[in-house]
Structure 1
Amino acid sequence: MKSTTDTTRPDDPRRVIALVAAAGRGTRLGAEVPKAFVDLRGRSLLERSVQAMMTAEVVDEIIVLVSPDMADFAQGLLRSRGILDKPEIPIRFVHGGGERADSVWAGLQAIDCQDAVVLIHDSARALTPPGLIARVAGAVLGGAAAVVPVIPVADTIKQVAGDQVVGTPARSELRAVQTPQGFELAALRAANEAYFAATDPGFVATDDASLMEWHGVPVTCVQGDPMAFKVTTPIDMMLAKTIVDEAEPTIFEVPRE
């Protein structure tokens, strides 16, 4: 897979539409509310993710994927913060499904055009720098059909079967994948249609890039950012709070390879 680090937006008329996934329950965090609505020093994870999309200056529309029982709350929350008062970047709310792939498919079906760039982002990656968002969008606008931000893996990874180690992949060939992931709308729609039409696709699409790989679409890598980590466990939330207490997330860079 190729690598690109360009953060500029090419002269491309296609709209960039961000789907922000906020329909999950996030049980591993142990919070009393769904994870997207957990407070991080005065702002929810969802608010921070949506605002990052707006600050990136490449996104033309935002679609928040939210569970039906939280849709009114999500809309009220963003309205109370003034986030919905920016007509230049409209925000819509679409009901998500039980699984992440269901939510994304619902969002794709709500897009009212045939040719666009789609960014799919986990609201739990609430400290993602706007520059990373622009980098992913720029790579798709520059010609890539599917783009993922990646960072090197620090730990040795073992492949296991039961309680036995059966392999150790070379760490130099492994990358941790983040979001937003970017796609050509038509290609992502086609992959989703094939996935949901298959009686047994043979795998569970835990991210959208894996679905594109399954559909035979090349996936391009761009440089990720440590700040785009996913808030999943209480320890992750402790880290996020510490970072926000110290400074807004602009302070780390991944070493170039």
Structure 2
Amino acid sequence: MRVIALIAAAGRGTRLGAAVPKAFVRLRGRTLVERSVTAMINSAVVDEIIVLVSPDMESYAREVLATAQLLDAPVPVRLTHGGGERADSVWAGLRTIPDDEAVVLIHDAARALTPPGMIARVTRRVLEGAPAVIPVVPVADTIKQVDGDAVTGTPDRASLRAVQTPQGFLLSGLRAANEAYFASPDPGFVATDDASLMEWHGVPVVTVQGDPMAFKVTTPIDMTLARTITDEAEPTIFEVPSE
């Protein structure tokens, strides 16, 4: 079964405060989207990569990926236009895939340091039969439910997990969930990620172990952390994961 990765890189990422959209911010000389594409290639499980970009960034994105020699990589990489919201982007990407018999990985370009081994772990679980798989890590902080400035509850963090990407799905199931979501919008539901959309559609979602390195670069502090833990001399592409 083919494995196709969709990398969401169409957002503006205003909280990072950069002059360019977040996916094209450089981390030690390489953009976040380059690093995400590289991780997919290095996972050794992906057959095709689709990068979702805004129309006004397509030429620049193509230039960035070509300069990094990622458009000539062992795994085919192509660009397609994303939408105004993340869900719109993913749905646009899914509609460019003709074959329902595939596994699709949905990944945020901003999770640029995601280990290739974690990508492989998610993919293997889908190939083993799970229709929807998400990588998760334990929640370290105490979480409060609030209403305005008043605390209304404290959920048990032992049962809570923070969700990362890539999230893996059988393409046929994710396509069906998107068709239902966009055909008859539910005013009481907003899909915050693809797994929540599958839950809404009645599809069981299972978890695999995530990785601290798969954190999302959202704010300047996140970028500072990423720079601190990134080796300037790290290899670029085509390394087989250790697991």
**Into which bin does the TM-score normalised by the smaller protein fall?**
over 0.9
Of 204, 214, 225 in structure 1, the residue corresponding to residue 190 of structure 2 is 204
CA distance, structure 2, for counterparts of residue 223 and residue 133 of structure 1: 11
Of 84, 93, 97 in structure 2, the residue corresponding to residue 107 of structure 1 is 93
SS of 2:7's partner is strand
The equivalent of 2:69 in structure 1 is 82
SS of 1:187's partner is helix
| Cα deviation, residue 246, structure 1 | 7.7
Q: Which amino acid aligns with 1:96?
A: G
Q: Does 1:121 align with 2:107?
A: yes
Give the share of equivalent positions with the same residue, in percent.
75
| Cα deviation, residue 247, structure 1 | 8.1
The equivalent of 1:174 in structure 2 is 160
Aligned length: 235
| Cα deviation, residue 57, structure 1 | 0.1
Query: Could you tell me the TM-score, scaled by structure 1's length?
Result: 0.89
| Cα deviation, residue 130, structure 1 | 0.1
Contact 2:28–2:232 (Cα < 8 Å) also in 1:
no
Segments of structure 1 that go 5 or more residues without pairing to the other structure are 1-13, 250-257
Q: Which amino acid aligns with 1:185?
A: L
Segments of structure 2 that go 5 or more residues without pairing to the other structure are 236-243
Q: Deviations over 1:165-209 (max 9, x none)?
A: 111110100000000000000000010011111242522111100
The equivalent of 1:10 in structure 2 is none
SS of 1:218's partner is coil
Of 221, 224, 242 in structure 1, the residue corresponding to residue 228 of structure 2 is 242
SS of 1:104's partner is helix
- What's the RMSD between the two structures over aligned residues? 1.3
- Give runs of ≥4 in structure 1 deviating > 3 Å: 245-249
The equivalent of 1:148 in structure 2 is 134
Q: Does 1:18 align with 2:16?
A: no
Query: Could you tell me the TM-score, scaled by structure 2's length?
Result: 0.94
CA distance, structure 1, for counterparts of residue 5 and residue 232 of structure 2: 28
Q: Deviations over 1:93-133 (max 9, x none)?
A: 11000000000000000002121000000000000000000
Q: Does 1:66 align with 2:53?
A: yes
Of 40, 45, 49 in structure 1, the residue corresponding to residue 27 of structure 2 is 40
